Amino acid sequence: MSEIEERLMPRYGENQPITDGAYDRSLAVKCVNGTFVGKRSDDVIAYKGIPFVGQQPVGNLRWKAPVDAVPSDGVYEAYYYGKTPVQSPGDPASLYPMGEDCLYLNVWRNEASADVKKPVVVWIYGGAFEVGGTTDPQYDCYNLLKENPDIIVVTINYRVSFFGFFHLSHLPDGKEYRDAPNLGLMDQMMALKWVHENIAGFGGDPANVTIWGESAGGASTTLLPLIKGSHRYFKRVITQSGSPGQTRSPEQAIVCTEKVMEALGCTTVADLMKVSAGKLAEVWTDLYGFYQKLGIRTFPERDGNYLPLDPWMAYEDGAAKDIVVLQGCNKDEMNTFLGVVGVDVWNAWAEGRLAEKLTQLPHEEKALVESYCNSIEGERCEATVRLFSQIMFIAPQIRLSEAQAKVGGKSFTYYYTVESSLPMIKSGHASELSVVFAHPELNDFTGRAYDETFCKTMRKMWVQFAKTGNPSLTADQSPDGKAHQWPLYDTVEKQVMVLAENDIHLARESELKIVDWNRTYFLTRYNMP
């Protein structure tokens, strides 16, 4: 049994109704859909596995929009996580029992400082919209809440992969499944609605909610503000390595569906409904498995209904200018993928995807991309890992800052540079997660524990932003004893906060050369897949 399995399996159980009245009232919170009883560890109380829907998306509700919570006077345990969403193997969350009945959330609060309603932070996990779940030990919030008692954190599950983002409406019997391409986002919205209606009972302020995510979760936090009616549920966004460019067209989505249908021998949704979740996962893993093939094909769909046809244009038209954003990227984003899958799998993926991308470009733009790659010394993988870091994460983060600044919106922008001790990963994608969640012992991407004072200071910035809408710290507030005045990004100075392990400091983008404005920035016009 792996170390992660040893951490996860003792946590597994199924929450039961409490019918005999024997429970600690101080740990019970009455919500719309029942009273939920949590568990205390020191002064941190965790409420795990709370359903935020009225019915789980199983049976006839497979590939259907989430159902609103149903009022209940029952009392229920909230001791154990709900199931992990069905997915391909490889992610830590997949080591926990999986199921289609996965729409649950968890609430973490500290009993201290309870005189006023606390700011609420809602975490949305990453995993390329393919994998992930709140059961990942990384997202255990005990350490974070122990250190920062003045916030409440909610972690939410959502459907991923072929259950969360699957185009079906083109099939002969698919007209009733128009929501299927964006179900994962709809799940997130339903969870936010539940938080809005119930978080006050936990001591949270429903008028002061920040949504927070990384990778696919970060992309989600940039797409949710574009969904009609969403702004009532949150006022701030923390986006780590995600952007509104992480979407796909209906045509791109249909290609994926057709390959799955062919592999399964299915022609209709009715056929698909007869296929077990396990078989779907097996076929998907063979075609697009994230840890197996580095598929990176699953994204929310620009359908012109739930999401705009052009999310970038929506930002540039001011659709999210009233939402305050803290966002940024890591210096060596795609190096994590290189380190995880190895050079051979990386080269096969990168060269295939690059050839595919180049066919979309006019001759002049192809020449710019080739010039960029040729300017990078070392093995070929060094060039492609840098290029795809720019395409998928780095240039889009800067474009998001530019878009917000141009319409009078607010964006606090960072550039994370702390390097892993593991070969090839460097300052790679997701390597900051152990910092923001205060889990130095979970070092799959870091290889080591980072400087403790730096980590505390970065977390304090995130918490300060959730509390006030500004991540700046005075010397008294900052764990490192230094004042960190963090200005908004603007289109002239283009200042970003460099999150370096021994030197958190401001710098202009022109000094750092985060993007290649001539040879990579234009690629943000072309979408991720």
| CA 199, 203, 208, 209 torsion-angle sign | negative
Torsion, CA 268, CA 271, CA 273, CA 279, rounded to 10: -120
Alpha helices in 41-182 (DSSP H): 142-147, 161-164
Q: What are 39's strand-pairing partners?
A: 46
CB count within 10 Å of CB 113 equals: 12
249 by Cβ neighbours in 10 Å (0-12 / 13-18 / 19+) ranks as: middle
* The pair of three-digit structure tokens given for residue 26, joined into one six-digit string: 């101080």
Exactly one of 169, 215, 241, 427 is catalytic; which is it? 215
Do residues 495 and 263 make contact, with C-beta atoms less than 8 angstroms apart?
A: no
Q: Select from 129, 132, 48, 115 the least CA-distant residue to 82.
A: 48
Output DSSP code: residue 99: -
Torsion, CA 40, CA 41, CA 43, CA 45, rounded to 10: -40
d(CA 300, CA 290): 16
Q: What is the helix (H) or strand (E) element at residue 110, kind and residue range?
A: strand 104-110
Output DSSP code: residue 471: -
Q: Select from 103, 101, 79, 83 the least CA-distant residue to 93.
A: 83
CA separation, residue 519 to residues 350, 365, 367 (Å) = 18, 8, 9
Is 375 an active-site residue? Answer: no
CA separation, residue 445 to residues 118, 212, 513 (Å) = 32, 20, 25
* The pair of three-digit structure tokens given for residue 73, joined into one six-digit string: 């006077």
* The pair of three-digit structure tokens given for residue 70, joined into one six-digit string: 């149903």
The residues near 444 (Cβ < 8 Å, ≥ 6 apart) are none
The residues near 455 (Cβ < 8 Å, ≥ 6 apart) are 435, 438, 440
Catalytically active residues are 215
